[in-house]
């Protein structure tokens, strides 16, 4: 879909007084990225398995861990991965209650059809027999409620990630995957400060952030930094706060957010898009607020951070 068409639809739906979430979901199912949902195996391979290995290497294995996920979305791919890798319990929270149990059950059915591959993906994290056993338990569930019980999964929505009401030092892993880019910077500081409160002294805070223009995911005709050509005023007339909001923060902005939140960064991974970098080098028309920033920082499209709270 042309990105401007998608943006216009999102803005129009955001103005509806009621029913906008249901309508948007139905449009996604018929025409958008939920029409043919991406296989969970891709996320397990490209995100879950390497992230779990990193957490283990920094002293916080997933096995037995109490996990808090920020930003549930329509499905629970990452909570499923945490459970299969041996997590003890999982809380997933979201500002808006958009979880779709039917999509979750479809995901589990697909995973069950690829039991051997799932076990292999996590073989460096957990015993393959244990992964297979957990997956078979999930496949036997006949409802989302039953599935959540097996996983020891608690879904909280609407919920505020800046004020979770969880006890101090009650989780081992504070986590999100492609969520921070949809949250304003000042709110991210508060979320990370709350993470410092709820995570144990030996726990870890891990967030995988997609800094690319998300409209490029559906419209390959535009660059992953296409949104950087628009001024803040122009972008406000395109983007919207309800569906698909993108904060457009760059890598250095996130570094400052972590500093303000009082986080000790253990691992920082960033990925620069070479096509975007070439475009900037060759005169890509940047909005005034992005001019003068180092090209590689502008064109960083993925950031993954593992951090700890600074001890008093």
Tens-place pLDDT, residues 232-272:
999 998 988 777 799 999 999 999 999 999 999 999 999 99
Strand partners, 90: 67, 153
Contact 247, 217 (CB under 8 A): no
39-309 topology per CATH: Rossmann fold (3.40.50)
- What pLDDT score was predicted for residue 218? 86
Q: What is the dihedral of CA 164, 166, 172, 174, to 10 degrees?
A: 0
Average pLDDT over residues 95-121: 95
Model confidence at 116: pLDDT above 80: yes
Query: How do beta strands 171-177 and 89-93 pair?
Result: unpaired
Average pLDDT over residues 124-132: 97
| Tens-place pLDDT, residues 178-216 | 999 999 999 999 999 999 999 999 999 999 999 999 999
The strands making up 89-93's β-sheet, listed across from edge to edge, are 153-156, 89-93, 66-70, 171-177, 199-210, 300-309, 263-272
Task: Please report which helix (H) or strand (E) contains residue 174, including its range.
Answer: strand 171-177
| Tens-place pLDDT, residues 9-42 | 777 777 666 556 665 556 565 556 656 667 899 9
Characterize 264-275 residue by residue with b for buried, 16 or more Cβ atoms within 10 angstroms of its Cβ, and e for exposed.
eebeeebeebee
Strand partners, 272: 300
- What pLDDT score was predicted for residue 84? 98
Average pLDDT over residues 47-51: 97
Contact 209, 191 (CB under 8 A): no
Angle between the N-to-C axes of helices 144-151 and 77-84, in degrees from 0 to 180, rounded to the nearest 10: 40
Query: How do beta strands 171-177 and 199-210 pair?
Result: parallel
| Mean pLDDT across the chain | 92
- What pLDDT score was predicted for residue 21? 65
Percent of the residues in the chain that have a pLDDT greater than 90, as a whole number: 82
Average pLDDT over residues 68-81: 96
* Locus of tokens 């080098």: 281
pLDDT-wise least confident of 17-21, 120-124, 223-227: 17-21
Percent of the residues in the chain that have a pLDDT greater than 70, as a whole number: 92
- What pLDDT score was predicted for residue 31? 56
Characterize 16-31 residue by residue with b for buried, 16 or more Cβ atoms within 10 angstroms of its Cβ, and e for exposed.
eeeebbeebbebeeee
Domain boundaries, the chain: 39-309
Strand partners, 268: 305
């Amino acid at each position: 879909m042309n990105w401007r068409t998608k943006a216009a639809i999102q803005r129009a739906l955001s103005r509806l007084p009621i029913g906008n979430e249901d309508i948007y979901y139905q449009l996604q199912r018929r025409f958008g990225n939920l029409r043919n949902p991406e296989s969970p195996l891709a996320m397990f391979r490209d995100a879950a398995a390497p992230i779990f290995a990193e957490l283990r290497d920094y002293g916080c294995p997933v096995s037995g861990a109490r996990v808090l996920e920020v930003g549930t979305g329509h499905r629970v791919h990452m909570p499923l991965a945490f459970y299969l890798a041996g997590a003890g319990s999982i809380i997933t929270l979201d500002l808006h209650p958009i979880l779709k149990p039917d999509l979750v059950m479809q995901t589990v059915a697909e995973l069950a059809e690829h039991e051997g591959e799932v076990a292999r993906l996590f073989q460096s994290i957990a015993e393959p027999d244990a992964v297979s056993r957990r997956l078979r338990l999930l496949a036997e569930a006949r409802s989302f409620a039953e599935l959540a019980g097996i996983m020891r999964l608690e879904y909280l929505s609407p919920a505020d990630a800046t004020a979770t009401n969880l006890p101090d030092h009650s989780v081992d892993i504070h986590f999100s995957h492609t969520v921070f880019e949809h949250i304003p910077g000042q709110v991210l500081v508060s979320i990370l400060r709350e993470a410092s409160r709820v995570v144990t002294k030996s726990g870890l805070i891990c967030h995988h952030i997609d800094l690319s223009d998300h409209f490029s995911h559906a419209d390959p005709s535009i660059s992953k930094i296409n949104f950087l050509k628009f001024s803040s005023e122009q972008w406000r007339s395109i983007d919207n706060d309800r569906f698909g909001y993108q904060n457009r923060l760059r890598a250095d902005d996130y570094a400052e957010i972590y500093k303000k939140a009082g986080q000790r960064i253990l691992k920082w991974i960033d990925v620069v898009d070479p096509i975007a970098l070439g475009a900037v080098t060759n005169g890509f028309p940047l909005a005034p607020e992005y001019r003068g920033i180092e090209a590689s920082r502008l064109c960083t499209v993925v950031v993954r951070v593992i951090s700890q709270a600074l001890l008093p």
